[in-house]
Chain A
Amino acid sequence: MVVRRSATFALEVDLSIEPGSTVALLGPNGAGKSTAVSAVSGLLAIDEGKIELARSVLDDPAADVFVPPEERRIGVVFQDYLLFPHLTVLENVAFGLRSRKVANDRARDAAASWLERLGLTGLESLRPGDLSGGQAQRVALARALVTEPDLLLLDEPLAALDVTTRVESRRVLSDHLSGFDGPRLLITHDPTEAFLLADEIQVVEDGIVTQVGSADDIRLRPKTKYAADLAGSNLVAGSTTDGLVETGGHQIHIADHGVSGPVLLTIHPNAISVHRNRPEGSPRNSWATTVDRLESLGDRVRLRTGAPLPLTVEVTSEATDALGLGIGSEVWVAVKATEIGVEPGG
């Protein structure tokens, strides 16, 4: 579809989503993500192309077909949730059903059961203003899901949350996404969200899709600087006690001794140094490994190391030449504990 927002900006996107899978539109602000949300939900008409859902056409300018938003069976979770402030939580969740002429008590029962599914029992008679960020996000999700839509559209669902709530909410979201049978479209600027929740990622910049692929594709073979930057971080899941993280048979030292339990570590490719021999100095983490893959990006080179812990490493071309690195080269890598980002959860 193509949507022209102004004389200078147009969004051009081509995607199709299989039932039961999640596609993420990942891009910086201004890339056209909200335009995509408005177009798919029907709040904006497209200029060219076609939108189809469940074998019926929603928007086709060439054939002069446009289905208004209230007739599209799409469940939307909006960025600011947009919970109706003058209605209770239960009434908010029941809203979609009642608008579709479902009887009041049946609507309320369905709403109550969804609230229970999302762990929100007891909050039915509260107003949205009384809810915490995480609770509001789940109410918004319940409200979208209760109408059993054909498509689930999530517009930056975790953006409004603080970091700790976000981790928990991401887990809740992941569970309910996999429980939803239809196709799901996720719009986000957060690469972690996209990598963890989506099966396919389309990177959008300035209204155009610059790359399509799985999380690994984007991470390992970014095609643009933006993708390289956000793809950068290596994500490692593990469990930590007292500054030591166990991950799949390998141990990593982190700076934070206060955290314990499951964690997600982020290590930026630039934070990893490559050596021909065992390095001396302060880095707590160093191990021997081999170069599995190597890709040149002009002045920079991206390496993928192998066992015991595969990592994406970025070094200069000069360094690569100087060290004589190639596929299969045996190297030592070192990571400073202070360079490792730690997030509880995983």
Chain B
Amino acid sequence: MNGRRAAGRPPLVVVALGGLGLALFLLPLVGLLWRTNWSDLPALLASPVVTDALWLSVIASVSATVIALLLGVPLAWVLARVEFPGRRLVRGLVLLPLVLPPVVGGAALLFALGRRGLVGEPLYEATGLVLPFSTWGVVLATTFVAMPFLVITVEGALRNLDERFEGAAASLGASRWTVLRRVTLPMIAPSVMAGLVLTWARAFGEFGATITFAGNLQGRTQTLPLAVFVALESDRDVAVAISLVMVVVSLAVLVTLRERWWKVL
């Protein structure tokens, strides 16, 4: 073999294995497109089952992301910057939903916040509020599984941030709040964005915790993943249509994101 030509080509084994990996990703997608009943598709997409589920999925995933932002960033800050006893344990607990099977997460939420749960019972007695099997329940369940993504991303970014910049800002007369607002947060903004994307993606695709805690009621708690699950047993065409919707929405979000934010992940 000509030495010069061989030097430029990537090793055959690597290409072969990479190709196999790619096939693994593409195959389900191809299968989905092959099975699609293209002529009936518009009618299917307009049916209440699909539109209700899409609406719920969007509401729930966006709400979960917003809550994760409001609560997760401060939590990440505390974990990254404040030394307190048991910090490692707390960090482990925060990351638990990443490892726990979502169904277990949903069940645990039920025991805590269900009508006869630890917090749920007094909550119900006092306000009549019932979280399980409600739209808010969906939001809660998805937040539970998705927020760790934001916390871990932001905490990582804060740890990697050179604290000397904050010292420099202080030496220039910036109060703690100004330092946070003009130095710390802008410098971790790319990581926060990346974290938000991950969080949203996870929330959008959540199934196990949702179905366990919030149930499967069309129009109230039946998000897109739940709708597919049900449709697979009754009307395959609807299942395919919903799956396509999810693929398109996800692709649209991921592709329109600026490459700059992906570098942080």
Q: Are A99 and B173 CB-contacts (below 8 A) given A78-B164, A85-B187, A86-B187?
A: yes
| Complex CA–CA separation, A147 to B168 (angstroms) | 13
List 5 A-B pairs, minimum CB-CB distance, nearest first.
Answer: A96-B172, A99-B174, A82-B168, A69-B170, A99-B173
Check B183–A84 contact: CB distance below 8 A.
Answer: yes
Q: A residues 94-117 with Cβ under 8 Å of B?
A: 95-96, 99-100
User: How far apart sit A270 and B175, CA to CA, in the bound complex (Å)?
Assistant: 53
- B250 interface residue per 8 A CB criterion: no
Give the A-B contact count at a CB cut-off of 8 A.
59
**Quick one: which of A68, A75, A84, A100 contacts B165, CB cutoff 8 A?**
A84
- Residue B59 interfacial (CB < 8 Å): no
Question: Are A74 and B187 in touch, CB under 8 angstroms?
Answer: no
Please indicate the chain B residues that have their CB under 8 angstroms from the CB of A36 in the complex. Answer: none
Please, what's the 1-or-0 string for B253-265, where 1 marks a CB less than 8 Å from any CB in chain A? 0000000000000
Q: Mark A52-71, 1 if CB is under 8 A from B, else 0.
A: 00000000000000001111
- Bound CA–CA A43/B170 (angstroms): 9
Are A42 and B165 closer than 8 Å at their CB atoms?
Answer: no
B48 within 8 A of A: no
Contacts A/B (CB < 8 Å), 16 sampled: A42-B171, A43-B170, A68-B170, A69-B170, A70-B170, A70-B172, A70-B173, A70-B175, A78-B168, A82-B164, A84-B165, A95-B182, A96-B173, A99-B173, A99-B178, A99-B182
Give the docked Cα–Cα distance between A144 and B164 (Å): 15
In this assembly, does B169 line the interface, its C-beta being within 8 Å of a C-beta of chain A? Answer: yes
Q: How far is the CB of A46 from chain B (nearest CB, A)?
A: 16
Interface residue ranges of B133-184 to A (CB < 8 Å): 162, 164-165, 167-176, 178, 182-183
Q: CB of B18 within 8 A of chain A?
A: no
Known: A85-B187, A86-B186, A86-B187. A70 touches B167 (CB 8 A): no
**A22 near B: Cβ within 8 Å?**
no
Produce 1/0 per residue, B107-127, CB < 8 A to A. Answer: 000000000000000000000
- Distance in angstroms between the alpha carbons of A96 and B171 in the assembled complex: 8
Q: Kindly list chain A residues whose C-beta atoms are within 8 Å of the C-beta of B173.
A: 70-71, 96, 99-100, 147
Which residues from chain B contact A70 at a C-beta distance below 8 Å? Answer: 170-176
Q: How large is the interface on A (under 10, 10 to 19, 20 to 34, 35 or more residues)?
A: 20 to 34
Bound state CA distance, A147 and B169, in angstroms? 13
Once the chains are docked, how many angstroms separate the CA of A121 from the CA of B198? 43
A71 to B170, CA, bound (A): 8
16 additional contacts, CB 8 Å, given A84-B168, A96-B172, A96-B173? Answer: A42-B171, A43-B170, A43-B171, A69-B167, A69-B170, A70-B172, A70-B173, A70-B174, A84-B165, A84-B183, A84-B187, A85-B187, A95-B169, A99-B175, A100-B173, A143-B172
Once the chains bind, are A76 and B187 in contact (CB under 8 Å)? no
- A328 to chain B: closest CB distance in Å? 54
CB proximity of A158 to chain B, nearest CB, Å:
18
Instruction: State how many angstroms separate the Cβ of B185 from the closest Cβ of chain A.
Output: 10
The reply to whether the CB of A41 lies closer than 8 angstroms to some CB of chain B is yes
**Which residues of A have CB within 8 Å of B170?**
42-43, 68-70
Once bound together, how far apart are the Cα atoms of A43 and B175, in whole Å?
A: 13
User: Within the complex, what minimum Cβ distance (angstroms) separates B232 from chain A?
Assistant: 48
Please, which residues of chain B bring their CB within 8 A of the CB of A78?
164, 168
In the assembled complex, how far is the CB of residue A121 from the closest CB belonging to chain B, in whole angstroms? Answer: 22
State the Cβ distance, B110 to closest chain A Cβ, in Å: 44
Min CB distance B43 to A, Å, is: 50
Q: Tell me which residues across on chain A come within 8 A of B174, comparing CB atoms.
A: 70, 95, 99
Q: Nearest Cβ in chain A — how far from B19, in angstroms?
A: 38
- The interface centre, meaning the residue of B164, B171, B173 with most chain A CB atoms within 10 A of its CB, is B171
